[in-house]
Amino acid sequence: MALRKIVTLPNPVLKRKAHPVNRFDRDLQTLVDDMVETMREAPGVGLAAPQIGLAERVIVVEYYEREEDEENEDARKKVWAVINPEIVKASEETLLGVEGCLSIPGLLGEVERHAEVHVRGLNRHGKPMKIKARGWLARIFQHEIDHLNGILFPDRAVRVWQQKQEVEQEQEF
């Protein structure tokens, strides 16, 4: 595994629609492993391939599987690697939350997202998978899938501001 460089604005790959993945070879396995390591080192809770300069439809997410686990200090986070993810169902209920992004350092924004989403895609070995996500986990998946479509959180934000250096950082995706 190796750390990859996280690209930042104005790198054009961040505003480009990513290409579907149709190869499930050793290179893809290395990419997924590198993305997980890079996300953790950053640190972040999600990472999309465009954030490391690759216009491919690959995301990794590491967070609690259930909303109630966020408050349980013994709960373990789960890692998802999703290839060609798509949101196939979204709740009507939305929630406003603060987001940051590893590719837009120093900027935060309030973004309205669906409270629950159903994501379909392929796992790292090409097998179909479905994920039902709620709360922050749903927010992370929406944020990362937006990256694959060239959409950044300020594009959806109702308010954006510069982060103060001395304030602890919000969750970054």
Active site residues per annotation:
144
Rounded Cα distance between 54 and 120, Å, is 21
Rounded Cα distance between 143 and 32, Å, is 18
Residue with tokens 């460089």: 5
Residues 6+ apart with CB under 8 A from 151: none
Contact (CB, 8 A) for 150 and 109: no
Residues 6+ apart with CB under 8 A from 126: 24, 83
Which has the closest alpha carbon to 117: 86, 148, 96?
86
Neighbours of 20 (CB within 10 A): 11
